[in-house]
Amino acid sequence: MIMLATNWTHVWMVTILGFCLVFLLLVVLIYILKLFGFIMRPRIKVAKPTEVHEAVGAPRKETSESITLTAEATAAIATALHLYYNGVHDEEPTQVTIKKIERRYSPWNSKLYGMNNLHRN
């Protein structure tokens, strides 16, 4: 009875059309993202030294290329930089310094209550 009461044409339509619409909308987003990626992709400037330019002394021409590194290469570069920058620091003076200790207030060593003050009064 329940199966008969259901409007199966509408149910199938919602299922198929709904899923296709999700797909379609996300495919539209893919193309828009690809377009944006093409326009805005960060480009690393790589100087290509050409012998002729260097010989003449003319300014070097920079060409724009997108570089893709493998994960291993990136990890190797990152480790090398980390090791290098960890090693780059000032030589420490290796002097042992004693911190100045603040003396606590005590009326026993207070100048206000000293014998000299009483004498003055």
Question: What phi, psi does 51 have (nearest 5°)?
Answer: -60, -40
Q: How far is the CB of 37 from another protein (least distance, A)?
A: 7
Q: How far is the CB of 17 from another protein (least distance, A)?
A: 8
Instruction: Give the integer Cα–Cα distance in Å for 14 and 37.
Output: 34
Binding site for another protein (CB under 8 A): 2-3, 6-8, 10-12, 14-19, 21-23, 25-30, 32-34, 36-37, 40-42, 66, 68-71, 74
Q: How far is the CB of 15 from another protein (least distance, A)?
A: 5
Residue 6 or 86 with smaller CB distance to another protein? 6
Q: Hey, is 11 helix, strand or coil?
A: helix
CA 39 vs CA 6, 34, 47, 92, 100: distances in Å? 50, 9, 21, 49, 62
